[in-house]
Amino acid sequence: MGKWIDMPPVWLLGFLVVAWVQSARLPMGLTFGGQWADFAGGLLVGGGVVLMALAFAEFRRHRTTIVPHENAERLIQTGIFSRTRNPIYLGDTLVLAGFILRWDAVLSLPLVPIFLWVLETRFVIPEENRLRRKFRADFARYCQKTRRWV
What pLDDT, in 10s, does the model give residues 14-60?
Answer: 999 999 999 999 988 888 888 999 999 999 999 999 999 999 999 99
| Domain presence at residue 150 | no
**For residue 37, what are the domain limits?**
2-145
Residues 119, 87 contacting (CB under 8 angstroms): no
| Domain presence at residue 118 | yes
> The pTM is what?
0.95
Residue 86 reports pLDDT greater than 70: yes
Residue 1 reports pLDDT greater than 70: no
| Domain presence at residue 16 | yes
Helix axes 8-25, 111-119, angle to 10 degrees: 170
| Domain presence at residue 52 | yes
Residues 112, 97 contacting (CB under 8 angstroms): yes
Residues 51, 79 contacting (CB under 8 angstroms): no
CA dihedral 86, 110, 21, 102 (to 10 degrees): -70
Domain count within the chain: 1
Residues 56, 92 contacting (CB under 8 angstroms): no
